[in-house]
Structure 1
Amino acid sequence: MGAGRRERDGDGSTPPEHPTITFSPSAEFPPLSETELGALHDVGQRWRADLGGHRPRDAVLPLDPSLEQYRRPPAPGRFGRLGRIEMFRTERRGQLTATGSADASGTRLRRTLARLRRVLLGPPLASAAVLQERMRKLVALPVLSSDLLSSVAYGPEAMLAILVLAGSGALGLSLPIAAGLVVLMITVGTSYRQTIYAYPHGAGSYLVASDSLGPRFGLTAAAGLILDYVLTVSVSVAAGIGAITSALPGLTPFTVPLGLLVIAGLLAGNLRGVRAAGKIFAAPTYLFIAAVLLLFAAGLAQAAARGFTPVPPPPVGAVEGLGLLVVLRAFASGASSMTGIEAVADAVPAFRPVEWRQARTTLTWMVGILVVLFAGLTILIDFNGLVPRGDETLLSQLARRTFPTGPWYALIQAATTMVLLLAANTAFNDFPRLLFFMARDSYAPRRFLHMGDRLAFSNGIVALAVAAALVFVAFGGYTQSLIPLYAVGVFLAFTLSQAGMVAHWRRHRGRNWRRRAALNATGALLCGLVLVTAAITKFVEGAWVVVLAVPLLVLLCLHIRWHYDAMRQALALPPPDTPDPDQGGRPDPMGRPNRVAESTGPDDLLVDQTPREVRHLVVVPVARLNLAAMRALAYATSLGQPVFAVHLSPEQEEADRFRRQWETWGDHLRLETIISPYRTVIAPLAQYVEALHTVRPEVTLTVVVPEIVVRHLWHKLLHTRTELRLRRALRDLPGVVVTSVPIHLPE
Structure 2
Amino acid sequence: MGKGAKQPSGPEPDRGSLVTPSAEFPPLDPEERTALGRIGERWRVPRRPDELPVDPALGRNRPGPAPSRFGRLTPIDMFTVEEPGELCATGPAHEPGSRTGRALTRLRRTLFGPPLSSSAVIYERMRKLVALPILSSDLLSSVAYGPEAMLAVLVLAGTSALGLSLPLAAVLVVLMVAVGVSYRQTIPAYPHGAGSYIVARDNLGTTAGLAAAAGLMLDYVLTVSVSIAAGVSAITSALPRLAPATVLLGVLVIAVLLAGNLRGVRTAGNIFVLPTYAFVAAVLALLLVGYARAAGRGFAPVPPPAVPATEGLGLLLVLRAFSSGAVSMTGIEAVSNAIPAFRPTEWRNARTTLGWMVGMLVLLFAGLIVLIHLNGLVPRADQTILSQLGRVTFPTGPWYAVLQATTALILLLAANTAFNDFPRLLFFMARNGHAPRRFLHLGDRLSFNNGLVALALAAALIFVAFGGHTQSLIPLYAVGVFLAFTLSQAGMVVHWRRHRDRGWRRRLAINAVGATLSGLVLVIAAVGKFAEGAWVVVIAVPLLVLLANRIHHHYATLHHALALHPPPTPGPASGGAPPAPGGSAEGEELPQEVRHLVVVPVARLNRASLRALAYAASLGQPTLAVHIAPEDAEADRFREQWQAWGDHLRLETIVSPYRAVIGPLAHYLEALHTTRPELTLTVIVPEVVLRRRWHRLLHSRAEHRLRGALRALPGVVVTSVPVHLAE
Which TM-score tier does this pair reach, normalised by the shorter chain?
A: over 0.9
Equivalent position SS for 2:81: strand
Which residue number corresponds to residue 445 of structure 1?
436
Q: Is the Cα contact below 8 Å between 1:707 and 1:741 reproduced in 2?
A: yes
Distance 1:570 1:107, change over 3 A: closer
Which residue number corresponds to residue 635 of structure 1?
615
Which residue number corresponds to residue 4 of structure 2?
10
Equivalent position SS for 1:10: helix
1:199 offset after TM fit, Å?
A: 1.0
Q: Is the Cα contact below 8 Å between 2:61 and 2:81 reproduced in 1?
A: no
Query: What is the rounded CA distance, in whole Å, between the counterparts of 2:351 and 2:457 in structure 1?
Result: 32
Query: What is the rounded CA distance, in whole Å, between the counterparts of 1:247 and 1:528 in structure 2?
Result: 38
Query: What is the rounded CA distance, in whole Å, between the counterparts of 2:234 and 2:55 in structure 1?
Result: 65
Q: Is the Cα contact below 8 Å between 1:596 and 1:606 reproduced in 2?
A: no
Q: Which amino acid aligns with 1:22?
A: L
Residue-by-residue CA offset, 1:658-696 (whole Å, 9 max, x unaligned) = 112111111111111112111111111111111111122
Q: Which amino acid aligns with 2:464?
A: V
Residue-by-residue CA offset, 1:37-92 (whole Å, 9 max, x unaligned) = 11111111011xx34xx652232x3222211259998999xxx99x9996111212
Matched residue count: 719
1:16 offset after TM fit, Å?
A: 2.1
Distance 1:135 1:12, change over 3 A: closer
Alignment of 1:201-212 (within 5 A): 201-212=192-203
Q: Is the Cα contact below 8 Å between 2:215 and 2:484 reproduced in 1?
A: yes
Alignment of 1:276-291 (within 5 A): 276-291=267-282
Query: What is the rounded CA distance, in whole Å, between the counterparts of 1:203 and 1:580 in structure 2?
Result: 49
Query: What is the rounded CA distance, in whole Å, between the counterparts of 2:675 and 2:197 in structure 1?
Result: 49
Q: Is the Cα contact below 8 Å between 1:498 and 1:523 reproduced in 2?
A: yes
Of 577, 588, 591, 1:611 maps to 591
Query: What is the rounded CA distance, in whole Å, between the counterparts of 1:58 and 1:72 in structure 2?
Result: 22
Query: What is the rounded CA distance, in whole Å, between the counterparts of 1:444 and 1:157 in structure 2?
Result: 36
1:640 offset after TM fit, Å?
A: 0.6
Residue-by-residue CA offset, 1:592-613 (whole Å, 9 max, x unaligned) = xx995789xxxxx874111111
Query: What is the rounded CA distance, in whole Å, between the counterparts of 1:645 and 1:409 in structure 2?
Result: 83
1:112 offset after TM fit, Å?
A: 4.9
Which residue number corresponds to residue 19 of structure 2?
23
Which residue number corresponds to residue 679 of structure 1?
659
Distance 1:595 1:395, change over 3 A: farther
TM-score (norm 1): 0.93
Alignment of 1:150-549 (within 5 A): 150-549=141-540
Range with greater deviation from structure 2 (684-693 or 733-742): 684-693
Q: Is the Cα contact below 8 Å between 1:75 and 1:87 reproduced in 2?
A: no
Q: Is the Cα contact below 8 Å between 1:85 and 1:98 reproduced in 2?
A: no
Of 42, 45, 50, 1:46 maps to 42
Query: What is the rounded CA distance, in whole Å, between the counterparts of 2:603 and 2:510 in structure 1?
Result: 76
Q: Is the Cα contact below 8 Å between 1:84 and 1:105 reproduced in 2?
A: no
Residue-by-residue CA offset, 1:265-292 (whole Å, 9 max, x unaligned) = 0001000110111011111000001000
Query: What is the rounded CA distance, in whole Å, between the counterparts of 1:481 and 1:595 in structure 2?
Result: 68
Residue-by-residue CA offset, 1:219-260 (whole Å, 9 max, x unaligned) = 110011011101101111111000000000000000011111
Range with greater deviation from structure 2 (672-681 or 363-372): 672-681
Residue-by-residue CA offset, 1:443-485 (whole Å, 9 max, x unaligned) = 1111111111111111111111111111111111111111011
Q: Which amino acid aligns with 1:87?
A: M
Q: Which amino acid aligns with 1:696?
A: R
1:128 offset after TM fit, Å?
A: 0.9
Query: What is the rounded CA distance, in whole Å, between the counterparts of 2:170 and 2:548 in structure 1?
Result: 39
Distance 1:75 1:64, change over 3 A: farther
- In structure 2, the gaps of 5 or more residues are none
Q: Is the Cα contact below 8 Å between 1:86 and 1:98 reproduced in 2?
A: no
1:392 offset after TM fit, Å?
A: 0.4
Q: Is the Cα contact below 8 Å between 1:333 and 1:483 reproduced in 2?
A: yes
Equivalent position SS for 1:455: coil
Q: Is the Cα contact below 8 Å between 1:451 and 1:457 reproduced in 2?
A: yes
Q: Which amino acid aligns with 2:309?
A: A
Residue-by-residue CA offset, 1:624-670 (whole Å, 9 max, x unaligned) = 01111110111001001110111111111111211121111111111
Residue 126 in 1 paired to residue 117 in 2?
Answer: yes
Q: Which amino acid aligns with 2:202?
A: D
Alignment of 1:651-666 (within 5 A): 651-666=631-646
Which residue number corresponds to residue 580 of structure 1?
570
Q: Is the Cα contact below 8 Å between 2:138 and 2:416 reproduced in 1?
A: yes
Equivalent position SS for 1:701: strand
Query: What is the rounded CA distance, in whole Å, between the counterparts of 2:358 and 2:575 in structure 1?
Result: 64
1:581 offset after TM fit, Å?
A: 8.6
Identity %: 70
Of 48, 51, 54, 1:56 maps to 48
Query: What is the rounded CA distance, in whole Å, between the counterparts of 2:452 and 2:2 in structure 1?
Result: 35
Distance 1:667 1:107, change over 3 A: closer
Distance 1:118 1:58, change over 3 A: closer
Equivalent position SS for 1:555: helix
Which residue number corresponds to residue 567 of structure 1?
558
Query: What is the rounded CA distance, in whole Å, between the counterparts of 2:120 and 2:503 in structure 1?
Result: 40
Distance 1:187 1:583, change over 3 A: farther
Distance 1:72 1:419, change over 3 A: closer
1:8 offset after TM fit, Å?
A: 7.0
Q: Is the Cα contact below 8 Å between 1:9 and 1:15 reproduced in 2?
A: no
Of 696, 719, 727, 1:739 maps to 719
* RMSD of Structure 2 on Structure 1 (CA): 2.4
Equivalent position SS for 1:57: coil
Equivalent position SS for 2:543: helix
Q: Which amino acid aligns with 2:161?
A: A
Q: Is the Cα contact below 8 Å between 1:15 and 1:200 reproduced in 2?
A: no
Equivalent position SS for 1:661: helix
Query: What is the rounded CA distance, in whole Å, between the counterparts of 1:574 and 1:288 in structure 2?
Result: 60
Query: What is the rounded CA distance, in whole Å, between the counterparts of 2:533 and 2:575 in structure 1?
Result: 60
Q: Is the Cα contact below 8 Å between 1:147 and 1:339 reproduced in 2?
A: yes
Q: Is the Cα contact below 8 Å between 2:582 and 2:678 reproduced in 1?
A: no
Query: What is the rounded CA distance, in whole Å, between the counterparts of 2:367 and 2:527 in structure 1?
Result: 30
Distance 1:597 1:86, change over 3 A: closer
